[in-house]
Amino acid sequence: MKNAETPVVKVVLYGAMSSLGSALMAEMLRRQHEVIAILDDLTALAPRPGLRTKTGDLFDAKRVKQSVAGCSAVICLLDAPGLPMSSEHVEKSIVPGPVEQVLAVDALIDGMQASGIARLFLVGDFEALDDPEIEDRLQRHAAEEIREALQSSTLHWTLVNAPRGVPGLTIEHFSHVSSSLEPGLAEPLGRLSRVAVGIADELRLNLHVGQHVTFVATEAIQR
């Protein structure tokens, strides 16, 4: 039960409509944190206690500043579908490519620094930082640029390798454990739930600041 004197943890989430976003919302709400999901469509999520929705633009530093004001931490899922964007500088796509991801992180850093919010979990395709054999040079270059931008910032950041998501998993799936899941959803539901628990624990314990991690079960492995 939440103590009236306990400060409320407020988490801003970019990428709420992805499977990992759904897992994170369910886990943060389970811990009685407030979740502010930044969306293009405010009706995309059904109302529930502790969950708020706000409009925003991940590619506009001024809009980011407005969206994150007053929060405890920001979690941004760079490879999530439906990231909020109304910027004229970026062509709308289902999932931002490497170039767009760099632009998004630049705006995110500027907006967070301007609002005085420091804690950031950035989830994306950062395996190229670990594996020199990966041939996608554009993704590797984007990951390196993102890491350098974070290192030059004042943020308390953690890079997280994105787990493999699946379509069709919503916050309802993660909020109510059911034995009647559709075939093939039980494994990703359990796996993504464990990643969400891991990120929530990292936030609570302030672990791996300025580091790059991947989650194996519920343990964060430093890269």
**3-class state of residue 95 by DSSP:** coil
Q: Where are the domains of the chain?
A: 10-222
- The overall average pLDDT reported for the chain is 90
Which pLDDT band holds residue 85 (cuts at 50, 70, 90)?
confident
Q: What confidence tier does 7 reach under pLDDT thresholds 50, 70, 90?
A: confident
Chain segment 108-118, per-residue pLDDT in tens: 999 999 999 99
Query: By the 8 A CB rule, do 212 and 223 touch?
Result: yes
**C-alpha angle 185-191-197 in degrees, rounded to nearest 5:** 130
pLDDT over 90 at 221, yes or no:
no
In 3D space, the residue among 74, 97, 96 whose CA is nearest the CA of residue 160 turns out to be 74
Give the CATH H-level superfamily of domain 10-222. NAD(P)-binding Rossmann-like Domain (3.40.50.720)
Query: What confidence tier does 180 reach under pLDDT thresholds 50, 70, 90?
Result: low
Supply 98's token pair: 């490497």
Give the tens place of pLDDT for each residue, 30-81: 999 999 999 988 999 999 999 999 999 999 999 999 999 999 999 999 999 8
Classify burial at 89, counting beta carbons within 10 Å of its beta carbon; exposed 0-12, middle 13-18, buried 19 or more.
Answer: exposed
Sign for the pseudo-dihedral over CA of 31, 34, 39, 42: positive
Least confident span in 90-94, 102-106, 157-161: 90-94
- Rounded CA-CA distance 175/53 in Å is 18
Q: What is the pTM of this model?
A: 0.92
Confidence band for 94, pLDDT divided at 50, 70 and 90: low
Please give the C-alpha separations between residue 48 and each of 16, 36, 172, 217, in angstroms, as whole numbers: 14, 12, 11, 28
Q: Can you give the pLDDT at residue 133?
A: 80
